[in-house]
Structure 1
Amino acid sequence: MPKAKTHSGAAKRFKKTSAGYKHKHANRSHILTKMSQKRKRNLRGTTIMGVSDAPLIQRMLRD
């Protein structure tokens, strides 16, 4: 039986923590001039992934 490979794209985007899976916000790369300061400020930093998405990420990362 071969080993299950980690999804390399998911490995770059998610990190496992004690609280769940950490990820960065989307829509923060370009065309930011039309976006309000409040929206850009709220997209900063990282957050914990939702509980319903955790099994999908867990399967991709093979944790």
Structure 2
Amino acid sequence: MATKAKVHSGAAKRFKKTGAGYKHKHANKSHILTKMTTKRKRQLRGTSVLNDADVPAVKRMLRHD
């Protein structure tokens, strides 16, 4: 009996597939925020669509066709 391919659990927590691609949160928004400007922190809010160059790697980790 063949075993089922496992999904990369770290990637599964960080990326979500949508119609536009894979959405993800921004990095550098967890701690040591006092030295960062308000503008920078504001721009890191919310989610973005993954860059096309990174899509193949995430697809492979999440086992999406």
- TM-score, scaled relative to structure 2: 0.93
Q: Which runs of 5+ in 1 are unaligned?
A: none
Identity over the aligned pairs, expressed in percent?
Answer: 70
> Is the partner of 1:19 in helix, strand or coil?
coil
Rounded to whole Å, the distance in 2 between the matches of 1:29 and 1:61 is: 24
Figure out how many residues of one structure are paired with residues of the other and give that number.
63
- TM-score, scaled relative to structure 1: 0.96
> Is the partner of 2:54 in helix, strand or coil?
helix
After the TM superposition, list the runs of 4 or more consecutive aligned residues in structure 1 that deviate by more than 6 angstroms.
none
Rounded to whole Å, the distance in 2 between the matches of 1:28 and 1:40 is: 7
Rounded to whole Å, the distance in 2 between the matches of 1:4 and 1:43 is: 34
Tell me the residue number matched to 1:58.
59
Tell me the residue number matched to 1:15.
16
Alignment RMSD: 0.6
Deviation at 1:4, TM superposition (A): 1.1
Rounded to whole Å, the distance in 1 between the matches of 2:43 and 2:56 is: 26
Tell me the residue number matched to 1:49.
50
Rounded to whole Å, the distance in 1 between the matches of 2:36 and 2:6 is: 38
Deviation at 1:40, TM superposition (A): 0.2
Deviation at 1:2, TM superposition (A): 2.3
Tell me the residue number matched to 1:36.
37
